[in-house]
Structure 1
Amino acid sequence: MSYESSLAEEAEEHGHASVPELAVGVVIGRSSEFFDFFVYAIASVLVFPRVMFPFASPLDGVLLSFAVFSLAFVARPFGTLIFTEIDRRFGRGIKLTVALFLLGCATAGIAFMPDYSVAGGYAIVILCGMRIAQGLALGGAWDGLASLLAMNAPREERGWYAMIPQLGAPVGLFVASALFVYLVTGLSEADFLEWGWRYPFFVAFAINVVALFARLRIVVTEEYEEQFRNHELRPSSVRETVAAEGSNILIGAFTPLATFALFHLVSVFPLSWVYLSTNDSVPGFLAIEIGTSLVGLAAVLGSGALADRFGRRRLLFVCALAIAVFALLGPVLLDAGQSGEFLFMVLGFGLLGLSFGQSSGAVASRFDRRYRYTASALTSDLAWLVGAGFAPLVALLLASQFGLFASGLYLLSGAICSIVALILSQRLEIRDEE
């Protein structure tokens, strides 16, 4: 009997969790996390190079800012390691409360921190510390609701349910970009750099509080604790999980590599390129991001229907091939003025939505039930680290040294890795079924 079939029989035996309630909890949680992400990402281009690295050239300031940006992705796996032990000893509710409290404090701490003109190099150290704390907290924010939602999905609608958690990304981008457009256009440059940029971080803290209560309302109830136990969605030792599922975790981390690299190369990197290399309006480009985030939202929704009809792996494979083509075409569009920038963003977010919508759990069904909870968290951490953590930094560095085409080659390398991982995953699955 297949793993999926056994899960379906278990769900029928023990009863299904409330799927609408699960979906709402997942979307709220992911939206709050991605809002935090995009607030920091936009500030990494528009704010931190000027208030934290004023001694550097505009290009070097953004590169230094992107280096600090990457620290959260490096810290995230360590957060999973720490908070997995908290989960095992004290429970999922305590773990989630501590993780989101840390995330909220780190986010609010950025809003209150001094800039370089006040504290000098200590301001940079504080910013690095806050960013590392955000990464540790994100590693602990894994609540298992996405896995529980997938396990309660009807067999013929798994693609549709898999895309629900991914809706948080375009929602978070839309709200964060809109907030920065409002501040940049409504304040003078001096006021924005002195105090206006801090406001989005206060908003992020408030959203984290709302998300915390929304998620706790679900995960700590007796009904859902029973569901977690029935599906064996309990934390396991990280060492034991890696020993048992190491190969699947590694394949799972590389499967969405193209998607996660594209994620940053259409959301963060273009803003830095427009800001540094063109005379185009920054609020105007953020407005393009607002509009194209809706394209991404529609594409995420469409990915569910396409995956259910044609299969998730096939969709991801086709998307990886399309990302490879976009890697060669995208730099030409981004360097072709405002109309090219608009087309770059429309195509990029459309392709991103289709691939990102199904990128989670591409190999999660191969995890043994005893390890799925922790293995899924580790897979997500490593995928973001390898695929996205350094993408804005590397892409901008390559583009500034060798031209935009070099950033396309970087994305192409990610697409090739994803294609290889998908082929390897399929071969291992076939071998396991023999």
Structure 2
Amino acid sequence: MSQDVAITAGSAGHRDGTAHGKVSPGEIATAVVIGRTSEFFDFFVYGIASVLVFPRLLFPHIAPLEGTLLSFAIFSLAFIVRPVGSAIFMWVGRRHGRGVKMTIALFLLGSSTAAISFLPNYQSIGYAAAALLAIFRIGQGLGLAGAWDGLASLLSLNAPPGKRGWYAMMPQLGAPFGFLMASGLFAFFVGVLSDAEFLDWGWRYPFFCAFAINVVALFARLRLVLSEAYSQLLETRELAPVGVFRMLREEGRNVLIGAFAPLASFALFHLVTIFPLSYVTLFTDLSARDFLFIEMSGALVCVAAIVASGLIADRIGRRTLLGVCAVLIAGFAILTPFLLGGGVKSETAFILIGFALLGLTFGQSSGALTSNFSSRYRYTGAALTSDLAWLIGAAFAPLVALGVSSRFGLAFVGIYLFSGAVCTLASLAINRQLVRND
């Protein structure tokens, strides 16, 4: 890494007054990217299966559209339980330590994902198969909430002067990396297996892989999280968990404003990944395999855009960039029905432009307003803000987009995305005014 500036752990609170090692931004960034890639791999493996597998596996007796809508309803459960998971695992972390908390969380996340690979079909046990999937999905959501480790906040806080945007974008690279891995696996199996083979066993392999990837991510993060230097840095920065209700009582306003700030980004997140795959497979002749390759090209564009967001944010400011991107997303929302409904070339343009905008805004969306929190509440505040932002902006996006587009047309998908951009702009404006008043 070009700027691997070492941060020496302070000696405060240690009787001998000696430092206990160094933790560099490069080490933190590596652990964060590996961890986020594993989490998003799990996320996208499930999301793609929600389109290509679960409607046919669990709801073969109803129409494909209705089956996909039911699948998306189960998809949202992980986001609904995330705030609950954060509260539970914050308590575990305070009582038993960060290592225990993260080990339990990642084991729950990985085992829930792996368990889905053994899911029986509707013909075997009826609606109980859908109930099992819902339980495993809830396990994924709880595990993902517990996997919050504060590394991204620590990375941003310890960034060299003038480089906060650059270091803030690094954790976000996990999203396109995870999507590339998940999409590549599904594209391969859809392409080389017959439809019967894919539906019987082929789709299960990516879920097996998820558990192995989570084990690698667990050790990569534990190596840093359990180090004495890291613990000392957390104490120095006061990045320690506090009670959720206590934090809400003291700084709930910051949670609410911060949750709406990335709404345009998080709404766009699913409208260029999961939703268009469902729309194309249900309403066009383009094969899932071909469209996955188009989306993988978009993910590569997203990687470049996320990197660019770090450079741009350090020049004009993170919040300014979010505001500019929200305006651009609002314009993109107007074009959505014309692009997504205009044939293969237009659909490709929708994906490439959408992923480019996603990279620019998503690259700086994480914790853009967490500096509003006092240091005492930053760790818990950042975690809960992230949970609520995903719940409000992304949990129901595929369900709503597919539902309104099938009933009222693609123009309503554009309206939905436009509303997210308006919420982001409003949140940034309110935050600016409150900062001025304070």
TM-score range, shorter chain: over 0.9
1:104 is displaced (CA, Å) by 1.1
Q: TM-score, normalised by structure 1?
A: 0.96
Query: Residue 45 of structure 2 corresponds to which residue in structure 1?
Result: 39
Percent sequence identity over aligned pairs: 59
1:366 is displaced (CA, Å) by 1.1
Query: Residue 214 of structure 2 corresponds to which residue in structure 1?
Result: 208
Cα distance change of structure 1 residues 105 and 301 upon mapping to structure 2, 3 Å threshold: same
Query: Residue 169 of structure 2 corresponds to which residue in structure 1?
Result: 163
Residues 11 and 152 of structure 1 are in contact (CA less than 8 Å); yes or no, is this contact kept in structure 2? no
Query: Residue 273 of structure 1 corresponds to which residue in structure 2?
Result: 279
1:335 is displaced (CA, Å) by 0.6
Structure 2 distance, partners of 1:270, 1:11, is 50
1:217 is displaced (CA, Å) by 0.6
1:17 is displaced (CA, Å) by 2.6
Cα distance change of structure 1 residues 351 and 51 upon mapping to structure 2, 3 Å threshold: same
1:308 is displaced (CA, Å) by 0.3
Structure 2 distance, partners of 1:17, 1:240, is 30
Query: Residue 376 of structure 1 corresponds to which residue in structure 2?
Result: 382
Query: Residue 231 of structure 2 corresponds to which residue in structure 1?
Result: 225
Match of 2:153 among 147, 151, 161: 147
The gaps in structure 1 that reach 5 residues or longer are 1-7
Number of residues of Structure 1 aligned to a counterpart in Structure 2: 425
Query: Residue 3 of structure 1 corresponds to which residue in structure 2?
Result: none
- Matched to 1:352, the amino acid is L
1:154 is displaced (CA, Å) by 1.4
- Matched to 1:201, the amino acid is F
Q: Which runs of 4+ in 1 moved over 2 A?
A: 8-17
1:362 is displaced (CA, Å) by 1.1
Match of 2:127 among 121, 136, 154: 121
Q: String of CA shifts for 1:295-351, please: whole Å, max 9, x gaps.
A: 000000000000000111111000000111111102210111000011001100000
Residues 92 and 219 of structure 1 are in contact (CA less than 8 Å); yes or no, is this contact kept in structure 2? yes
2:343 paired with 1:337: yes
Residues 169 and 306 of structure 2 are in contact (CA less than 8 Å); yes or no, is this contact kept in structure 1? yes
Match of 1:251 among 241, 248, 257: 257
Query: Residue 5 of structure 1 corresponds to which residue in structure 2?
Result: none
Residues 163 and 301 of structure 1 are in contact (CA less than 8 Å); yes or no, is this contact kept in structure 2? yes
Structure 2 distance, partners of 1:272, 1:34, is 19
Structure 2 distance, partners of 1:9, 1:224, is 10
Residues 16 and 152 of structure 1 are in contact (CA less than 8 Å); yes or no, is this contact kept in structure 2? no
Q: String of CA shifts for 1:244-275, please: whole Å, max 9, x gaps.
A: 11000100000000100000000111000000
Please give the residue correspondences for 1:18-417 in structure 2 after superposition, counting only pairs within 5 Å: 18-417=24-423
Cα distance change of structure 1 residues 58 and 213 upon mapping to structure 2, 3 Å threshold: same
- Matched to 2:95, the amino acid is R
The gaps in structure 2 that reach 5 residues or longer are 1-6, 13-18
- Matched to 2:399, the amino acid is L
Cα distance change of structure 1 residues 10 and 252 upon mapping to structure 2, 3 Å threshold: farther
SS in 2 for 1:284: helix
Residues 153 and 161 of structure 1 are in contact (CA less than 8 Å); yes or no, is this contact kept in structure 2? yes
Structure 1 distance, partners of 2:11, 2:167, is 18
Residues 339 and 349 of structure 2 are in contact (CA less than 8 Å); yes or no, is this contact kept in structure 1? yes
- Matched to 2:115, the amino acid is G
Q: String of CA shifts for 1:161-201, please: whole Å, max 9, x gaps.
A: 11011000000011111110110011110000001100000
Q: String of CA shifts for 1:94-116, please: whole Å, max 9, x gaps.
A: 00000001111101110012111
